[in-house]
Structure 1
């Protein structure tokens, strides 16, 4: 962990902080409205929200949408094999460990000092079978044990450097590597952030559709209409997605969303190009005012 670090929680300050090796500052901010809950903020951008006393509580809109898919990927309570690209504060690994005890999970995170910081300030449940691997998401994904090939039930792609997704985890080649790990009915969930026009999101949908047989999006209607920057959660599988209940679930969330699939998905993609390693670019940067929070403002 970097030596340039702030006071820990419980040492006269509710917020713990550390400067990471990449120069970003990470802060764990106490949620003023929910005792026992915290927000991980990296480079001014909220990355994760964790309720230590109730890991089934998912605060962020896009995380809740992925949580719904986790609930539907297998029978209730059944253990699964999951891989998470991007660690953050381990919100979804905690969720799976709580709702599907006995699940095998692998988390890939580039920033080792961020992992140390989170584990020190927001400890993982001792009974959770969560293995953490350090390194670049794509490089580690390609080197995961052969025993995982064809066994992954749920794979989360939520890789950000600051507020942007790196280009090399957005291409057809990258998703093809991911597809090689998936079980027959396994689901890949990708968190895509985009703004006006949704050109990046459309190309990501086109790319996933070029690799997987079935693709669906979950998105806030206002984001879909390009009225604001936001998250588009994309799901892909070689089997038909078990999402009969998903439209009702996401429509009843605090921030309602809709499922886009079939003909509507084709219209959304339109003529968007498939992304390759040669054409890949990072996701567009949001205005700093969209996600940036001030210390003590976690909610």
Structure 2
């Protein structure tokens, strides 16, 4: 009897699982989970979920990204820049939900953009263009008011690379946005760490109000985790609050967040 196909059969067929392979910035591997998800691990850290259904996001912070886009209300033909593309799970999700949108995904690793196209059903250019490029360089090269959405999801270990978390990066993000545009940034935080303070200060210097979305315990500095920073003049915080109230994990929405 032939083996029944599973969702993971559709992801990177023929690529061995659980085996490290070299990429430009270190090593990566693909790992299948019993629930039908394949995860991309980069340098020993889970980096991207790969699932056949683009509606499903397996990382909580990506669910917060998606909920914040809904609270923002994207233009019908939005153009988004994704910094830290990895396997492009979130660009794929948005391209599915908003078929007229366009996406540019950049990653510092020169190998990953070549691989991810072969792993699963990503939209083709011009709907999704994938480049090996530094995230600051990608922003600096954008014309004024040329983007509707900027998503930052780039890490070096547990922290955002410093050149993507300072006044220069946030300033160019503000400059490159069209009026009413949105910036989303995934930041890692842990009790006693001050690494995120400069990032948040730079975001507020560029945008004024910055909303932080995350688990209550993480926002209060009691536990390590991920917090989403959202900056836009057109963000409906009431919609975000309703999302937080019904989220699977106890979630807060704060404009006064201070990492501790």
Structure 2 length normalisation: TM-score? 0.87
Answer whether contact 2:218 2:225 (CA < 8 A) is retained. Answer: yes
C-alpha contact 1:9 1:15 (8 A) present in aligned 2: no
Instruction: Point out where structure 2 has 5 or more consecutive residues left out of the alignment.
Output: 1-10
Aligned-partner Cα distance in 1 for 2:42–2:56: 21
1:263-283 CA distances to partner (integer Å, 9 max, x unpaired)?
x34xx27xx9xxxxxxxxxxx
Tell whether the 8 Å contact from 1:55 to 1:98 is kept in structure 2 after alignment: yes
The 1:102/1:12 distance shift into structure 2, 3 A limit, reads: closer
Tell me which of 237, 240, 245 is aligned to 1:243: 237
Paired position in structure 1 for 2:40:
40
Distance 1:43 1:12, change over 3 A: closer
1:228 equivalent in structure 2: 223
1:30 aligned residue:
32
Query: Is residue 109 from structure 1 mapped to residue 104 from structure 2 by the alignment?
Result: no
Q: Please, what TM-score do these two structures have when normalized by structure 1?
A: 0.77
**1:72/1:242 contact within 8 Å kept:** yes
* Map of 1:124 onto structure 2: 122
Contact 1:192 1:233 (C-alpha < 8 Å) held by counterparts: yes
Q: What is the rounded CA distance, in whole Å, between the counterparts of 2:122 and 2:234 in structure 1? A: 33
> How many residues get paired?
250
Per-residue deviation, residues 147-201 of structure 1 (Å, max 9, x unmatched): xx31322110111134432111111121101111111110101111011135223
Alignment CA distance shift 1:188-1:215 (3 Å): same
**Paired residues of 1:50 and 1:91 also in contact (CA < 8 A):** yes
Q: Contact (CA 8 Å) 2:113, 2:131: kept in 1 or not?
A: no
Taking the TM superposition and a 5 Å limit, the aligned residue runs for 1:4-19 are 9-11=12-14, 13-15=16-18, 17-19=20-22
> Quick one: structure 1 residues 117 and 214, their matched pair in 2 at CA, closer, same or farther if it must change by over 3 Å?
same
Partner of 1:183: 178
Task: Tell me how far 1:215 sits from its aligned partner.
Answer: 1.1
Distance 1:13 1:172, change over 3 A: closer
Offset of residue 222 of structure 1: 1.0
CA distance in 2, matches of 1:58, 1:10: 21
Q: Cα distance, 1:256 vs. partner?
A: 2.5
Q: Could you list the per-position Cα deviations for residues 107-129 of structure 1 after superposition, in whole angstroms to 9, with x for gaps in the alignment?
A: 11111211222222233134870
Q: Which structure is richer in relative contact order (CA contacts within 8 A, separation 6 or more)?
A: 1
Distance of aligned partners of 1:79 and 1:16 in 2 relative to their CA distance in 1, 3 Å threshold? farther
Alignment correspondent of 2:49: 49
Distance across 2 between alignment mates of 1:243 and 1:82? 21
**Kindly tell me: are residues 197 and 235 of structure 1, through their superposed partners in 2, closer, same or farther at Cα, counting changes over 3 Å?**
same
Contact 2:55 2:96 in 1 (8 A): yes
| Structure 2 residue 70 is matched with structure 1 residue 67 | no
